């Protein structure tokens, strides 16, 4: 697949996870969420397991894209899902926006 504007190769990462699974992991392993999510992500997701599950799925998808391209796969804590001023999600790796994600 190529980007129609730049004709550069594109990669797509997809992941689906159950809200219940992430909620269960978070409650059974108190350190899980703190280890895998940024403080900002945890604040945004407080009391909303569906938000935490969405961020987990996004992190998994990002890791799949990197792996499919033979690139170094970022760690879960280095990937953060934030929001742009208009509300659209934005992926950061090591605090920097990732173009095209």
Query: Is it true that domain 19-97 has CATH number 3.90.470.20?
Result: yes
Specify the DSSP element, H or E, that contains 21: helix 19-28
Dihedral in degrees, nearest 10, Cα atoms 87, 1, 97, 81: 50
One pLDDT digit (tens) per residue for the chain, 101 residues: 544 444 556 666 777 788 999 999 888 987 999 999 999 999 999 999 999 999 999 999 999 988 888 888 999 999 999 999 998 889 999 999 887 76
What are 9's strand-pairing partners? 2
Domain residue spans in the chain?
A: 19-97
Amino acid 93: pLDDT: 94
Amino acid 6: pLDDT: 45
Amino acid 10: pLDDT: 61
Written in H, E and C, the secondary structure of 23-91 is: HHHHHHCHHHHHHHCCHHHHHHHCCCHHHHHHHHHHHHHHHHHHHHCCCCCCCCCCEEEEECCCCCEEE
């Amino acid at each position: 697949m190529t980007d129609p504007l730049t004709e550069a190769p594109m990669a797509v990462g997809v992941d689906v996870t159950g809200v219940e699974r992430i909620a269960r992991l978070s409650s059974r392993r108190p350190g899980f969420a703190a280890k895998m999510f940024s403080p900002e992500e945890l604040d945004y997701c407080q009391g909303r397991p569906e938000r935490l599950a969405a961020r987990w799925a996004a992190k998994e998808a990002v890791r799949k894209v990197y792996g499919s391209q033979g690139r170094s796969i970022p760690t879960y804590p280095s990937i953060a899902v934030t929001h742009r001023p208009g509300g659209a999600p934005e992926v950061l790796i090591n605090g920097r926006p990732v173009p095209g994600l």
